[in-house]
Amino acid sequence: NAGVTQTPKFQVLKTGQSMTLQCAQDMNHEYMSWYRQDPGMGLRLIHYSVGAGITDQGEVPNGYNVSRSTTEDFPLRLLSAAPSQTSVYFCASRVTGALGEQYFGPGTRLTVT
């Protein structure tokens, strides 16, 4: 069981470039989400999805797009990278419902110069 996988682990972008962070889970979880983690700020929710074809915005969605065509995959797209998007990005999945454990991927460290 791979759990939640993310690629790449590290990425350096120049301002204005676009890219897609990949996330996949093999636990058949309906709920998936993307967070960014910055020093002193904790994890902040970017976008989430409660099932294939359904996505919604979290706390900090600007500059990011998501789609959910399958239960397994939940890619995050940076449309035009900015230095303010330098962060560590975590993808997570869980069983829908308030009590389920959330499983995180290993993270992607993104630097935008």
107 binds another protein (CB under 8 A): yes
Among 56, 57, 62, 113, which residue sits at the site for another protein (rule: CB under 8 A)?
Answer: 56
Short-list 12, 36, 8, CA closest to 112: 12
Q: Binding residues for another protein, how many (CB under 8 A)?
A: 25
Short-list 45, 46, 79, CA closest to 61: 46
Furthest CA-CA distance within the chain? 40
66-95 binders of another protein (CB under 8 A): 90, 94
99 binds another protein (CB under 8 A): yes
Among 19, 45, 52, 82, which residue sits at the site for another protein (rule: CB under 8 A)?
Answer: 45
Q: Contact, 96 vs 50, CB < 8 A?
A: yes
Nearer of residues 48 and 64 to another protein, judged by Cβ: 48
Among 19, 27, 43, 52, which residue sits at the site for another protein (rule: CB under 8 A)?
Answer: 43
The bridge status of strand 19-25 relative to strand 42-51 is unpaired
